[in-house]
Every structure is written in structure tokens, then in C-alpha cells.
A and B are shown apart, each in its own frame.
Chain A
Amino acid sequence: MSTTTPRIYKGLNLTIFSLVMVFLYIPILILIIFSFNDSRIITGWQGFTTKYYVQLFNNPTIATAFRNTMLIAGLSTLISTSLGVMAALALENTKFKARKGFLALIYTPLVIPDILMGVSLALLFNFTRVNTGMVTVLIAHVTFCISYTVIVIQSRLEGFDYSLVEAAQDLGAKPHYIFWKIKFPLMLPGIIAAALLAFTLSIDDFIITFFTSGRGFDTLPIYVEGTIRRGTITTINALSTLMIAFTLFLVVVTKRIRKIIISAL
């Protein structure tokens, strides 16, 4: 190992790696520290306080936004993952005539800027005179999650060991038995990875939600953006810190799943 990379490179790479780490984490650290800062504005350390966390939990608007976010994320994960499982199973059949076209349809949303999906859905809901709100946001979230769930689940199916299925067939197992007892358990890590990715994409989305949510249906990112714009940011630090803690929790809990997402990317 030591002989293959020249020492100058190694030093340089380590230096840049460390700098990038500082770059990635400094803002997050500052945010966490300042969530305990007893000051109305963001500058200067004025002493330790947890009062913004108390305010956060007593704020009904944030509670509603949180509920909306979780509801949309949960439902869009469920729908997009179910559709993803079915689509991945269809794509498994390489003789399927519409396979190429279907794959193109699935990949296209990924190479188009998000904002265009937001604009096109906003105009669709205007044209059809649908009232924007929970349902339109849900439709939008499922639409941008599908491509990811199909690709993650499909990439797991590619390394599938069919000798297991053949062995079960030879032993006389029925198709639905083979599916639920052999195939589904082997697909499960991929399905969980896809669900997790969809959930993260959904709770993270701002722009598409911004175009498809009507007044009165705020998700957390929409609420946070509005608050920042109005300049009343005292509780946002505390809220952000909790959201970061939630992320860390997900990362720790899903150690195995993360690997699958990496290999799928």
C-alpha cells in the first residue's frame, strides 16, 4: 500500500480531506452551539439557555408543520416504494418489450432540474383547477421519489442469485411461496434502503413543495424558509439542531442500509 501512492500525494490528499471535513462540519457545529445561545440575534455568545427548545415545543405552527412533513414523508415513502418494488420486478424481465422505454421514463426526472418539476406540477394543478394542499404535495413527492426507489431496488435485484429460486421450483414450491419466502426477504434490504432514501428526499424537499402546496399547508422546510425570510429566527436554531439529531439517529440506526444506498449510487 505504502509504495503505490507517492508521499507528496498522500500528504496533499490528507490535507484537502481534513479541510473539506472542517468545511462540511463547521456550519453545523455553529448551528448547534448557537441553539443554546441566549440572544435574539445570531451574533455573539450571550450565555447558555434552553429556552428556545421550550418555545419550540410550545409553538403550534411548528407542531403542525412537523405533522404535515411526517405525514407526507410517510405516505409518499409507502406509495413510491410499493410502485418501486413492482417496477423493479417488471424490469427484471429482460425480454420485456417496453423495458427500454420504461427505463428512460424512470431516469429522465433525475436529469432535469427539480425546479422544472415544481413549475410543471404547479401549472398542471392550475390547469385542472385542483385546490393545492396536502394531496397535491403528496402527488408531487411520490413523483420525485419514484425514480430513486425503482433504481435502488432494481440495483439490488441485479445481483440476485436465481439458483435459489430454481432450487425451490425443483422442490415443488408454488410461485407465491417462492416470492414471499425467498425473493422478498432477499429484496428486503434494497426495499428498506429505497424507503429510507424516499423518506429523506421527502422531508428535505423545499422547491417542489413550494410550487405545489397551497396556503395553509406548510411542511417544515417551507415553514423554516418563511421564518428566515421574515427574520424571526430564534427557534430555528433549536429546530435545526433537533433535525440534525434526527439525521444522526437515522444514520446510526441504519448502518447496514446505508451501505446498500452507497452501492446503489
Chain B
Amino acid sequence: MPKSRQALLVKRKNLSSWLLSLPTMLWLLLFFLIPYLIVIIYSFLSPDIYDVKFEFSLDAYRQIFSGDYLRPFLLSFKLAIYTTLLCLILGFPVAYYIARASEKLKNTLLIFIIIPFWTNLIIRIFSWRIFLSYKGVMNDVLLKLGLIHAPLEVMRTDLAVILVMVYVYLPYMILPLYSVLEKLDFTLLNAAMDLGANEVKAFFRITLPLAVEGIFAGTLLVFIPALGAYLIPQLVGNQSSLYIGQVITYKIKNIPRNWPMASALSLTLLFLVALLLLLMYALYRRRLAHRYKS
């Protein structure tokens, strides 16, 4: 093919790429990037009962930096850490079990993991309320079995929030773990044990390092939504200790509204998430470099 013709073809291909990507680019520019610009602007305005006043103010940031909202942030981080750890501890054996099952069984087992994931979120939360509430099924059964003498008060506690969070986000951890464990060469484990490594050592030296990509992906998929959780704390949590997602929502929805505060809190959350992503990316890069060296 002559050079000029090839250049023309590349040019035409690029033009069609521009045309094909333009609608999506514009959509995301208008409804994803520009809205954040407005959040930034609103965070420097003054609150009004129903709206915002277009007067410059640093009050929102002043309040955040003086630590007024430290508690909800800490609570949300704690929730995200617990949820991620529990999902990992429960999800790893499950993913491992599915990855080692026979080909036929694998798909069936995966469907069983995915069905709850496809069931409406609010309905799954609601079913936990039926299960956990003071006069709910769990207390009913435990009382009848004589295991407890008074109903347990689990509903409206931080424990209930963690429990339901783990329930909802477990599939998000299992699926990426499964996809790396499925590709894992299990003969390596055999070799290690033939060479005298015990099971624990083989797990920590072989299985775990090779599953790191899945752990990273699963952690991202669980930790980040957990930081912004609103619905689960709202429906099963203790209303006297609010998570940051609830605080932001109240500032937007409840009257008197405080949109500058909601904006500043949102940006703080965004900043923390970005920091976390950078940290994880750095860790990931270091691991890759480490692997190529050895």
C-alpha cells in the first residue's frame, strides 16, 4: 500500500473515531464533569433555607477544617474498612471454592452468587429489617429455641449496618477474586508442597501473591461505595450517629438546606477517595515492578 494512501486511511479512521466518541464525550462533559464545577462553585457560597445565596463565603470549609464533621467521616471510614475486610475474609474462600469446582458446577455456583446481586438493593435491605428487628424472625427463632431470654437489639446499631453492607457488597468482592483465582495455576501449589512447604506457607507465598490483582479490584469495588453509603445506614442504622453519606444527603434534602456545606463535604469526600486511589495505584505499581524484578 503506498504511504500516502495509508496516511489517508489513518486520517479517516481518526475522524470516524472522533465522530463516534463525540456524543459520549459531550454527555459526560455536560452531566459528569460540569456538575462538579457547580459543586465547587456552590461550596464557596452562603446557605439559604431553600436555596443558595450568591455571596462568597468560606464558612463551609472553615467548619470542616475545625473538625465539626470529623465524626461522620471517621464513622464512614470505619464502616468501609470493616466491610472490605469482612468481604475479603468471607469472599476469598468462596471464590477459591468456586474456582476449584468442576467446569459444569462453576457456572451454577456463580449464578447463585449473582442472583442476590441482581435483586433490588432496597428489597434486600428491607428483608434484613424483617430478619433483624426487635420482633423479627431472628429473635423469634432464638427465643423459641431458648438460646436467649430477651430479644437482641441488633436493628438500628452499627453492627446491623456492617452486616447488611457485607451482605450487599460480598458479590462485588467474590467476582474479581474468582476471575484471578480461576486463572491460577494450581500445580504451583503442588510443587511448593512437594518441596516441603506446608499449607499455610504455600498459601501465603503462592496463592495470595498471585491473587493480588483480584484483591485490589475487589477492594476498590467495595471500599469506595461503602464510603458514600446512605441507604443502608438510613434503613438499618442508628440515627443518632450519622455516616457522611447521610450528612450530605440531609444537607441537600432537609430544610433548612445547606447546599454549600453539602458541596464542601462532597468535595472533601471526593478528595479523600482520590487520595486513596492514588495510594492504591502506587502500591499496585510497586508490586508490578517487584514482580518484574524477580
**Could you list which residues of chain A lie within 8 angstroms of chain B, going by C-beta atoms?**
1, 3-6, 8-10, 12-14, 16-17, 20-21, 23-28, 30-31, 34, 41-44, 83-84, 86-87, 89-91, 93, 95-99, 102, 105-106, 108-109, 111-117, 119-124, 126-127, 139-140, 142-143, 146, 150, 200, 203-204, 206-207, 210-211, 220-221, 224-225, 228, 233, 236-237, 240, 243-244, 247-248, 250-251, 258-259, 262, 265
Number of A-B contacts (CB under 8 A): 261
Residues on A with beta carbons closer than 8 Å to the beta carbon of B123: 31, 224, 240, 243-244
Chain A hits for B128, CB < 8 A: 27
Given the known interface contacts A119-B262, A221-B122, A236-B126, the answer about A6 and B199 at a Cβ–Cβ threshold of 8 Å is yes
For A31, the chain B residues whose CB sits under 8 A away are 123, 126-127, 130
In the bound complex, how far is the Cα of B220 from the Cα of A221, in angstroms?
25
| CB-defined contacts of A113 to chain B, threshold 8 Å | 224-225, 227-228, 245, 269, 273
Q: Once the chains are docked, how many angstroms separate the CA of A117 from the CA of B137?
A: 36
Given contacts A28-B124, A42-B135, A247-B119, 20 further A-B contacts (CB under 8 A): A16-B93, A24-B167, A44-B140, A83-B24, A84-B24, A87-B23, A89-B20, A93-B16, A96-B18, A113-B224, A113-B227, A114-B225, A119-B266, A127-B38, A203-B120, A204-B121, A224-B123, A228-B126, A243-B119, A262-B110
Interface residue ranges of B156-195 to A (CB < 8 Å) = 167, 170, 175-176, 179, 186-187, 189-190, 193
Q: Please name all residues of chain A whose beta carbon is closer than 8 Å to the beta carbon of B111 when the two chains form the complex.
A: 251, 258
Q: How far is the CA of A98 from the CA of B259 in the complex (A)?
A: 35
Would you give the shortest CB distance from B237 to chain A, in whole angstroms?
13
Cβ-closest 4 pairs across A and B: A113-B228, A120-B35, A27-B127, A90-B21
Interface presence of B209 (CB below 8 A): no
When distances are taken between beta carbons in the complex, the residues of chain B under 8 Å from A200 are 118
Bitwise interface map of B from 71 to 99 toward A, beta carbon under 8 Å scored 1, else 0 = 00000000000000000001001101110
Q: Are A123 and B94 in contact (CB under 8 A)?
A: no
What's the least CB distance linking A113 to chain B, in Å?
3
Q: Are A207 and B230 in contact (CB under 8 A)?
A: yes
**Chain A residues with CB below 8 A from B112, complex form:** 21, 24
26 contacts between A and B (CB under 8 A): A1-B100, A12-B93, A13-B94, A17-B93, A17-B98, A21-B112, A28-B116, A30-B130, A31-B123, A42-B135, A95-B10, A96-B18, A105-B33, A111-B277, A112-B273, A113-B224, A113-B245, A119-B252, A119-B263, A123-B35, A123-B42, A123-B259, A203-B120, A240-B126, A244-B119, A262-B110
In the assembled complex, the CB of A147 is this many whole angstroms from the nearest CB of chain B, namely 8
Cα distance, A17 to B130, chains bound together (Å): 24
A265 to chain B, nearest CB (A): 5
CB pair A247–B127 under 8 Å, yes or no, is: no
CB of B228 within 8 A of CB of A116, answer yes
Inter-subunit contact A120/B249 (CB<8 Å): no
Residue among A90, A206, A210 making CB contact with B17, cutoff 8 Å: A90
List the B side residues contacting A30 at CB < 8 Å: 127, 130-131, 137
Majority DSSP secondary structure for residues of A touching B: helix
Whole-angstrom CA separation of A127 from B121 in the bound complex = 30
Report B285 CB to chain A, min CB distance, Å: 16
Q: Nearest CB to that of A150 among chain B residues? A: B24
Residues of chain B within 8 A (CB-CB) of A146 are: 24, 27-28
Residue-wise, chain B 254-290 has the 8 Å CB interface mask toward A (1 for contact) of 0000010011001001100100010000000000000
Residue of chain A at shortest CB distance from B10: A95
Q: Which of these, A14, A26, A140, contacts B131 with CB under 8 Å?
A: A26
- Contact A91–B119 (Cβ < 8 Å): no
In the assembled complex, the Cα of A265 lies from the Cα of B178 at a distance in Å of 11
The size class of the interface chain B forms with chain A is 35 or more
- The smallest beta-carbon distance between B74 and chain A, in angstroms, is 16
Nearest to A222 among chain B residues (CB) is B122
Task: Tell me the minimal C-beta distance from A33 to chain B in angstroms.
Answer: 9
Q: Is the CB of A17 within 8 A of B31?
A: no
Query: Are B90 and A20 neighbours in the complex by a CB distance under 8 Å?
Result: yes
B142 close to chain A: CB less than 8 A: no
Tell me whether B39 is interfacial, beta carbon within 8 Å.
yes
Contacts of B33 in A (CB 8 A): 105
| A6 to B270 alpha-carbon distance, docked (Å) | 44
B58 on the interface (CB 8 Å rule)? no
* CB-based contact A120/B97 at 8 Å: no
Q: Are B248 and A119 in contact (CB under 8 A)?
A: yes
- Tell me, in angstroms, the Cα distance from A140 to B30 when the chains sit together: 11
- Are B97 and A16 neighbours in the complex by a CB distance under 8 Å? yes
How many Å lie between the Cα of A165 and that of B112 in the bound state? 38
Known contacts A20-B170, A93-B13; is A3 also within 8 Å of B35 by CB? no
Given contacts A27-B124, A123-B38, contact A105 B225 (CB under 8 A): no
Q: Indicate whether A90 sits within 8 Å of B20 (C-beta atoms), given known contacts A31-B130, A115-B248.
A: yes
